[in-house]
Amino acid sequence: MPILTTERLTLVPLGPEHLDAYTALIAQPDVHRYLSSGKAIAADPPGEAARIIGVAQAQWRDRGYGPFAVFETDSGAFVGRGGLFWVERLQGVEINYMLDPRFWGGGYATELSRRFFDFGFGDLGLERMVATTNPDNAASRRVLLKVGMQADGQRDFGTHMVDYFRIDRADWAAGRQ
């Protein structure tokens, strides 16, 4: 499994060794307020963290990609989680990120998203990636548009609506020039 870097961050595949830091991250109400699973997370942060890490390990094993634990390279501080997920109901590879509020507004979500495109399109040869956000999450929407994703309406997930974004390999390549 790869270890990725950006200018300021080090990304390692999310695993059991990150359970305590990941549990502390998702236990913060500001972190899960826009997530459809927010109530389940709030009810049992350790259980949900362990479940998500299990899903992450299966994604890495079965697909060759998945979520990363994200650390500041200089300080070693745990910044959050982000990466690529296969999402069955979208029939696509989704980029996503979840950062500790202490690191919001510092450009890390943008930096991560660009690195995920390089990994997905460049290293894995994917043809398309998608992202979803809660319609009320204006900050995440701004990041996705800033990195070149196209807004493509909303999707009904049965229990909630999401804003849907996409980017194709050709659009990614054109934006790099």
| pTM, rounded to two decimals | 0.90
State the alpha helices, DSSP H only, in the chain: 19-26, 29-32, 38-43, 45-63, 108-117, 138-146, 169-175
What's the CATH code of the domain at 55?
A: 3.40.630.30
Closest CA relative to residue 150, chosen from 136, 129, 173, 134: 129
What is the domain extent for residue 66?
Answer: 4-175
Question: Which residues touch 176 (CB under 8 Å, ≥6 apart)?
Answer: none
C-alpha of 129 from chain center = 12
Total tally of structural domains belonging to the chain = 1
Q: What is the pLDDT of residues 102-153, one digit of tens each?
A: 999 999 999 999 999 999 999 999 999 999 998 888 899 999 999 999 999 9
Alpha-carbon gap, residue 107 to 28, rounded angstroms = 20
Pair 161, 154: CB distance under 8 Å: yes
